Amino acid sequence: MSTDVHGGPGRRAARHAHRPKSRRPLWIWLTPVVAAAVFAGFGCVRVVFPRTSPVSSSVDVVIPRPVGTVPPGPLTAVAALLGSLAPVPGQTPAAPAARPTHPAEHTEAPSAPPPPPARPPSAAPATASSNPFAGARFYVDPDSDAMAAVARLRNSAPADAAALSRIANTSHADWFGGDTANPDAVRARVAGRVDEIRATGALPVLVAYAIPNRDCGSYSAGGAGSPDAYRAWIAAFAAGIGRGPAAVILEPDAISQTDCLSAADRQTRYSLLGNAVDVLAHVGAAVYLDAGNATWHSAADTAARLRAAGVDRARGFALNVSNFDETPDERAYAAAVSAALGGTARAVIDTSRNGLGPAASNAWCNPPGRALGAAPTGNTGDPVVDAYLWIKVPGESDGTCNGGPGAGQWWLDYALGLAARATG
């Protein structure tokens, strides 16, 4: 490192005026001292001293600095004296390490997920100008169950293949709810999926679904085994997203189903959701807390639950996830909930299976006769609704009801019915 040491012009002129012209230059008598100091185990620092010659403005001098521990002695004292001639350079903040959109560490999970920050900076309040879906590209999974079914049926049942292509060629969200005892695994899976989606220039749309006491023990029962396990899981989920655009639907049914919990567990759930909002917003994700649907709780009740879960630090809330309510009803409900929250929260609506509205008596578990709804778009024409999305994957079962397989499993016959009855 080179450090310039210059006196002001007046000081330099004064020294030159009082120095005999026959005096040897400074570098001549310093040379043997420097050489001896180097042999004694000192490092060197290049320093520029002023020259008296009008031809040149400075002279380079090497100043010895100790390297490691050196026994005290005459050379040590001399080196210390000489070293004091070099000023300490100003502290320059190190440039922050660049973090790529797709961190290299995604390819291999760390031994432990990063702990969630105690209180990361709050997400900016939702505004109409920050809709993450505005102009976004939606990802179509080339390896989906629907795409595989189309390939299988193309020759043997071309009409069915054509109907199923409505599902296969449309974007849907990616759900993550397993690996609750292995955060490294969920981090790696989320990272792999996010990298794959971002590589196409599309916006990842993810569903985090691992809250303790999930689904009140019903068809989708499970989730993390403890609050600490969930905190570790959501931190790993966020680490998998990394820095970059993403939208997260946070914990379907979690606030709407708090009535099945004890008072203590209810408070714990809201605390976990608030922490999840902060952790996800900290990596830049647009977070939408699930808020049920228009037929479940009143707008005022839902707004109160969302507040308790930290919606003020999220982008907004999600409606009609895995349900069948008609879009106009959900839009009106979104407006009422947002107004109850002060008008800043935005919504997304799941339109994956609401093409014919709800079944009789609002049956929700694999009701027959339903149809695909409007395709995903960020152009809703509604200032409160950021996007229509296919959050539920059409064709995946709601559970072992009405002849369906386990929750989340692909059900070809149901998928064919949804696609065949679609009118869009």
Q: Please pick, among 160, 278, 290, 398, the residue that the annotation labels catalytic.
A: 398
Known catalytic membership, residue 253 = yes
Of 177, 175, 168, 161, residue with least CA distance to 141 = 168
pLDDT per position as a tens digit, 178-220 = 999 999 999 999 999 999 999 999 999 999 999 999 999 999 9
Pair 150, 245 in one domain: yes
Distance (Å, rounded) from C-alpha 211 to C-alpha 230?
7
Pair 361, 241 in one domain: yes
Known catalytic membership, residue 215 = yes
Pair 132, 12 in one domain: no
Q: Please pick, among 195, 215, 329, 350, the residue that the annotation labels catalytic.
A: 215
Pair 195, 52 in one domain: no
Is position 95 within any domain?
no
Distance (Å, rounded) from C-alpha 144 to C-alpha 157?
19
Is position 103 within any domain?
no
Pair 125, 79 in one domain: no
Q: How confident is the model at residue 423 (pLDDT cuts 50, 70, 90)?
A: confident
Is position 371 within any domain?
yes
Query: Mean pLDDT, to the nearest integer, of 21-30?
Result: 40
Pair 157, 250 in one domain: yes
Q: How many domains does the chain have?
A: 2
Pairing of strands 58-66, 42-50: antiparallel
Is position 93 within any domain?
no
pLDDT per position as a tens digit, 77-98 = 433 443 434 333 333 333 333 3
Query: Mean pLDDT, to the nearest integer, of 163-170?
Result: 98
Which residue, 22, 49, 83, sits at the end of a domain? Answer: 83
Kindly tell me if the per-residue pLDDT of 242 is higher than 60: yes
pTM assigned to the model: 0.71
Kindly tell me if the per-residue pLDDT of 409 is higher than 50: yes
Distance (Å, rounded) from C-alpha 313 to C-alpha 277?
7
Pair 18, 125 in one domain: no
Is position 89 within any domain?
no
| Percent of the chain's residues with pLDDT above 90 | 68
Is position 97 within any domain?
no
Pair 129, 17 in one domain: no
Pair 201, 270 in one domain: yes
Pair 174, 38 in one domain: no
Structural domain span for residue 8: 2-83
Of 143, 146, 141, residue with least CA distance to 160 = 146
What is the DSSP secondary-structure string of 343-395? S--EEEEE-TTBTT-PPGGG--SS-TT-B--PPPBS--S-SSEEEEE--S-TT
Q: Please pick, among 195, 253, 329, 386, the residue that the annotation labels catalytic.
A: 253
Distance (Å, rounded) from C-alpha 50 to C-alpha 60?
9
Q: What is the pLDDT of residue 82?
A: 37
pLDDT per position as a tens digit, 96-116 = 333 232 233 323 333 333 333
Q: What is the pLDDT of residue 424?
A: 65
Known catalytic membership, residue 184 = no
| Percent of the chain's residues with pLDDT above 70 | 69
Pair 230, 306 in one domain: yes
Pair 267, 335 in one domain: yes
User: Across the chain, what does the average pLDDT equal?
Assistant: 78
Distances (CA, A) of 121 to 101, 271, 277, 282: 20, 17, 11, 7
Residues near 204 by beta carbon (within 8 Å), at least 6 away in sequence: 139, 174, 193, 194, 197, 198, 241, 245, 246, 247
CATH of the domain at 345: 3.20.20.40
Instruction: Give the phi and the psi of residue 391 in degrees, each rounded to 5.
Output: -80, -50
Is position 22 within any domain?
yes
Is position 91 within any domain?
no
